[in-house]
Amino acid sequence: MLEKGYTVLDRSFYDRSDVVKIARQLLGKILITWFDGQFTAGRIVETEAYNGAVDRASHAYGGRRTARTEVMFGRPGTAYVYLCYGIHHLFNVVTNKVDVPHAVLVRALEPLHGVDVMLDRTRKQVPDNTLTRGPGNVSKALGIYTIHTGMDLLESNMVIAEDQYMVKKSAIGATTRIGVDYAGPDALLPYRFIVKDNPYVSGKRK
DNA sequence: CTGACGATTCACT
DNA sequence: GTGAATCGTCAGC
């Protein structure tokens, strides 16, 4: 099912303690879904790290464990999808060991496969750089909804893979996270990673 | 049970 | 730059 040359990331990639490092290393990796026989994939060009219990910007701040946040306490490599503003579905991948609620939000992709399907799902006419720009658009283009929360990204029809492509270190930028002003001092942390100059990267901040 | 609100996006001024 | 859309989640009563 996977394109030749794509390798699904192993559990060990996610099963590490430094979520900030994982967020940075996810740049250049490929998010793939094949729902209803429709294959869509894009290269990750923007991520944000959410550092669990000690991060005021995280849903799991203070170890808050509820029905919604429960998947973040689960196995590394699990999808955490939730509804934001009653409209947008945001896709994250859970990292670190069980009971440590780390997660990385995928904020933007560069489309690789299934652009026609993405256009259909987003009801757009032209494949411009807004197609998979911003976390709400990423999920919409790939067909990701809250029903997919808890899915294993190693053994399902939604995975993160890699190929030979590598993002140059000099092309990676780190900034503060978007839309987390409520997090006080933690809003200032450089936990957002982007591929500089990529047209699919969201936001106006550098 | 109720109310306030959000890891956003888009149309409009 | 401003504001609406829209609903699940969660704290509080």
pLDDT in tens, A106-163: 999 999 999 999 999 999 999 999 999 999 999 999 999 999 999 999 999 999 999 9
A105 pLDDT above the threshold of 60: yes
Distance of alpha carbon A84 from alpha carbon A144, whole angstroms = 13
In this structure, are strands A88-95 and A79-84 parallel, antiparallel, or unpaired? antiparallel
A25-66 residue pLDDT tens: 999 999 999 999 999 999 999 999 999 999 999 999 999 999
* Smallest CA–C1' distance to C5, residue: A87
CB A39 within 8 A of CB A32: yes
Kindly state the tokens that stand for A96. 């670190």
CB A47 within 8 A of CB A138: no
- Give the pLDDT of residue A204: 62
In this structure, are strands A192-195 and A38-50 parallel, antiparallel, or unpaired? antiparallel
- Chain B positions with any atom < 7 A from a protein CB: 6-10
| pTM given for the model | 0.96
Give yes or no for CB of A83 within 7 Å of strand C.
yes
A12-35 residue pLDDT tens: 999 999 999 999 999 999 999 999
Kindly state the tokens that stand for A85. 């503003």
Name the closest nucleotide to A85, judged by C1' and CA.
Answer: B6
